[in-house]
A and B are shown apart, each in its own frame.
Chain A
Amino acid sequence: MSRSLPASLTAGRRLPNVWDALATACVFAGLVALVHVTPATLQPIDAPDAVAVTLDPANLPEYALRTTLRMFAALFASLVFTFTVAPLAAKSRRAGLILVPMLDILQSVPILGFLTFTTAFFMSLFPGKVAGLELAAIFAVFTSQAWNMAFSMYQSLTTLPPDLVEATRAFQLSGWQRFWKLEVPFAMPGLVWNMMLSMSGGWFFVVASEAITLGDKSWTLPGIGSYVSVALDQRSMSAIWWAILAMFVVILAYDQLLFRPLVAWSAKFRMELTAGAVAEDPWVLKLLRRTRVLSVVLEWVGDVFAGIGRLRLQMPQMGGDGAPRPPSKLGDAVFLAVAGAVAAWAVYLIFNYVASHDVGLADLGEAVGLGLITMLRVVVLIALASLLWVPIGVYIGLRPEWAKRVQVVVQFAAAFPANLFFPVFVILIVRYHGNSDIWLTPLMILGTQWYILFNVIAGASAFPGDLQEAAKNFHVGGLLWWRRVILPGIFPYFVTGAITASGGSWNAAIVAEVATWGDDKLQAHGLGAYIAQATTDGNFAKVVLGVAVMSAFVLGFNRVLWRPLYAFATRRLTL
């Protein structure tokens, strides 16, 4: 299927047009900005302007740009991670045995708690350079994005349609060709969707990780997050509004320029052959398709990639690849022995560490107690948010003309890093002397409640029209309608949203249970505050303990509550 020259090429229609000019301008502006910012990371950390952040709004565009670049660097790293780890876990049975549970646990670990360690690690890699701090920030974002992307790809790779797999084998595609022709395209819609969720969460972490405290030292990396933290120290409300405005612009641009086109594009990899109702293409995609010079360039890039995909590289033969081979008993035994040894060593290390820093049972008890308090917060918040958003989501979702527009706004709200709004709440609490234990709590769900609303709207819009008609025809109304008709109908969607919201809330606890405004310091009782406090004190042993306890809570929460609920929802409540 070689592409012959289109007949129209000779007609001279590939002259640049207005769209080309527009698109080219955007591309070059991006490049210029990149070149402008990059050298700054190689400056020594003590250089006067390397890490100083001023509150002049004129600097905000640069800060915003640097924040965004960190974000994309992390996204790139996550993609690399996804494309290596997920195929490994899916194709090698043995690697899968270890990688899959590991990803699952990493998903539940509150990464903000680890910021301290990773910063120390990266600082030691680049002693005295800003690059160390940059990498630490990027790593923080990476850890918030990579796991669910890898997980999504792993799931796609293990559920490949068997007929297509047989087709690739019948036509003797090499492992490499099969990867690019079948596996990646099949995984694409799920991956893009998870990237979007990851990015939304990522903004939160990039903002949180720019102002880093390491023991008694603290640094700020130029960016929106550090701008806000300086504003907090200097009690500058106007600066905070400026930062919110800048972030608004950034998220709007990222949403419009990157994600809408990406989602629309990934739709073509869906497995349905029937042409479903397709939303209109976002304007950026239209622009890309209308430009002539740019589409030639893109076509060329596409051809190069397609060429790479056509190479007859043999992937290393592994268990799940091609015709399955019987597993070798000896290989398994060796593998298990090694894995067991590593695990034993890890347990020994932890025990040793804890023993040498004399963290005792009392500390564990304290952490667990505080964990229970934070858990109570999460439960109450999820319940309150559900009470509020489920009826609203149902109302909107059943009105298609509203649902579409509201979905866009909600997606936007979910991507907006809620921590930028924390100061506004803190000021109110300080002014009205509110109880921190109560009034700091809503901050935990500020950014994550949108997932509930988003999913409920999606569920209500997908509610079958014939069931609605049946309910009306049999005069089912009022409470009976909620109980028998709509709530079971949206439940699977609600659970999906609530899982995301509760996971995010645990994470947010670390930044939400402690808040400062100049010299005023607000602190709630909870595991998040415990970890934050231990970090400020430079007490690594307590940080480890706190993070471990929180991970255990999140994991337990998932296993005991959400998984069974989700299993029930998919088993009973879907046709």
Chain B
Amino acid sequence: MDGKTSLTTLLQVTGCRQAYHKDSTSDLLVLDDVNLTLNSGEIVGLLGRSGSGKSTLLRIVSGLLKPTAGDVTWRGKKLSGPADGVAMVFQSFALFPWLTVAENVELGLEAQGLPKAEREERAEAAIDLIGLGGYESAYPKELSGGMRQRVGLARALVVHPDLLLMDEPFSALDVLTAETLRTDLIDLWSEGKLPIKSVLMVTHNIEEAVLMCDRILVFSSNPGRVASELVVPFAHPRNRLDPAFRQMVDDIYALMTRRAPKPAVAVQTPAAEAGFSTPLQPISTNLMAGLIETLAAPPYDGHADLPALAAGLQLEADELLPMGEALSLLKLADLADGDLHLTEAGKQFAEAGTDDRKTIFAAALRAHVPLVAAIRRTLDERWNHRASAVRFRDELEDHMSPDYAEETLRAAIAWGRYAELYSYDEEAAQFSLEDIETVA
């Protein structure tokens, strides 16, 4: 990559760090030491789980957010404030509901102060290019999701940006619509009809990344880092069923689950209170039970390949991986190299009835989730068997951002409730042993 001349390098991010400021302890990192180079003529994908900071990086690149440390060089100049020649497509479309399709598309041109005639001409061209002709005077609420995202694309393309940023642009759309939009966009790109030099897109959909990108940066979570960089060697149009394509998807799954048995835990804090610093995702116990049952039953019989499982369950990697991780955290399943196997405890769980399942789950929680164990221990020790959630939240916040602390606590509440380890009063924000059968 270093061999390329600086002429073709559009964007350079070096040593980028984004920290969430927390006064009691050291800063909590969202992004750590991220480097990124973007050249003309390529589509680069940022692939990672939610919370890996990839959307944050996109906002840093667009100049909407200033990094805590590190430099962003855009077209050879240091970036400060919203960048010229960078246009963004939003996951939520971000269309102005009070403007028509044409007015939405013209907005960026209006901001540049172009005369009316030129605005209309360029907007018309962009609208036709993206397949929206005839919808000029419609309001966004009259359009389907796919048509709305087309407006989002037209609005970004009409300013003829050098760099198009896309933040999970297809994840709010249904499968068929998303696929149409992807192929339309790639066709236009391959035919050189798009007035842009380069695309940087954020996605959590592995197949989407392999389908569209020339280069993929895989992010690890908490804090976000570039874990690996892959070059996608296939020419457009790509075939999802091509064995080489499948192999690459498989490899990326393996890559993303490689550290999974020990999730990115002790990266920021030494192991002393490692138990408390594991962020948990509040995966519903129904989902976990359903996944275990699916795994235990044929055709998987206790062992599944993640891409196949994801396809079978119509889940995206981003949805399936947290479930698998939750199971592996509880040692009900093993997650490694893109595969998921049920453990002995997992098999027992699959065969057990409602009450036995709760017992197995409770045992797994107390053994493998220190936070849940600590809550129950505190309740057992207190004379009134009550404990405020605030105290646990504060302790969690010493190790993670408030959002993570909140999620972790919610997971602990939901799982503990299912396992009947404790009950929780939402209004008083209090754990207690009310209505819990205390077995000595």
Contact = CB atoms under 8 A, between A and B. Distances in A.
Is the A/B pair a real complex? yes
Interface of A: 4, 6-8, 11, 13, 268, 275, 289, 464, 466-467, 469-477, 480, 484-485, 488-489, 572-575
Contacts of B426: 275
A488 B428 contact: no
13 contacts: A6-B434, A7-B433, A8-B385, A11-B383, A472-B64, A473-B64, A484-B103, A484-B107, A484-B110, A485-B96, A488-B96, A488-B98, A573-B97
A471 B62 CA distance: 12
A484 B62 contact: no
Contacts of B84: 475
Contacts of B103: 484
A476 B155 CA distance: 13
B87 A473 contact: yes
Contact of B111 (A13, A268, A474): A474
Nearest to A477: B111
B249 interface: no
B112 interface: yes
B92 A13 contact: no
Contacts of B427: 268, 289
Interface residues of B, number: 39
Contacts of B385: 7-8
Interface string B379-400: 0000111100000000000000
Contacts of B159: 474
A470 B94 contact: yes
Contact of B99 (A4, A466, A475, A484): A484
A6 B139 CA distance: 57
B98 A474 contact: no
A8 B94 CA distance: 52
Given A475-B82, A475-B108, A572-B139, A8 B434 contact: yes
B114 to A, nearest CB: 12
Nearest to B62: A473
User: Interface on chain B toward A: helix, strand, loop, or mixed SS?
Assistant: loop
A268 B94 CA distance: 30
B140 A466 contact: no
B107 A474 contact: yes
Contacts of B108: 474-476
A467 B95 CA distance: 7
B418 interface: no
A476 B88 CA distance: 13
Given A466-B91, A476-B108, A484-B99, 17 more contacts: A8-B384, A8-B434, A289-B428, A469-B64, A470-B88, A470-B96, A472-B82, A473-B82, A476-B110, A480-B111, A485-B96, A488-B98, A572-B97, A574-B97, A575-B97, A575-B140, A575-B141
Q: Closest 10 A-B residue pairs measured CB to CB?
A: A474-B108, A466-B94, A488-B98, A470-B94, A575-B97, A476-B111, A473-B88, A475-B111, A573-B98, A466-B92
Contacts of B135: none
Contacts of A485: 96
B155 A474 contact: yes
Given A474-B107, A476-B107, A469 B88 contact: yes
Contacts of A572: 97-98, 139
Contacts of B155: 474
B90 interface: yes
Contacts of B59: 469
A6 B433 CA distance: 9
A275 B99 CA distance: 32
A23 to B, nearest CB: 16
Contacts of B87: 473-474
A43 to B, nearest CB: 46
A574 B84 CA distance: 30
B125 to A, nearest CB: 17
B384 A13 contact: yes
A504 B93 CA distance: 40
B86 interface: yes
B96 A467 contact: yes
A473 B434 CA distance: 52
Given A6-B434, A469-B90, A473-B82, A484 B64 contact: no
Given A464-B94, A466-B94, A474-B87, A11 B99 contact: no
A267 to B, nearest CB: 10
Contacts of A473: 62, 64, 82, 86-88
B380 to A, nearest CB: 13
A529 B377 CA distance: 73
Interface in B99-147: 99, 103, 107-108, 110-112, 139-141
A472 B91 CA distance: 16
A106 to B, nearest CB: 34
A475 B113 CA distance: 11
Contacts of B90: 466, 469-470
A289 B425 CA distance: 12
A573 B100 CA distance: 11
A263 to B, nearest CB: 15
Contacts of B91: 466
A8 B379 CA distance: 12
A467 to B, nearest CB: 5
Nearest to A285: B427
Given A7-B433, A466-B92, A475 B112 contact: yes
A474 B108 CA distance: 5
Interface in B298-352: none
A153 to B, nearest CB: 25
Interface string B64-95: 10000000000000000010101110111110
B79 to A, nearest CB: 13
A275 B282 CA distance: 13
Contacts of A467: 94, 96
Which of A8, A469, A470, A489 gathers most chain B CB within 10 Å? A470
Nearest to A466: B94
A470 B152 CA distance: 10
A280 B130 CA distance: 47
B93 to A, nearest CB: 8
A573 B95 CA distance: 12
Contacts of A275: 426
Contacts of A268: 427
Which of A4, A467, A469, A472 gathers most chain B CB within 10 Å? A469
Nearest to A295: B428
Nearest to A487: B98
A477 B92 CA distance: 22
Nearest to A289: B428
A382 B84 CA distance: 40
B227 to A, nearest CB: 27
B160 to A, nearest CB: 12
Contacts of A6: 434
Contacts of A574: 97
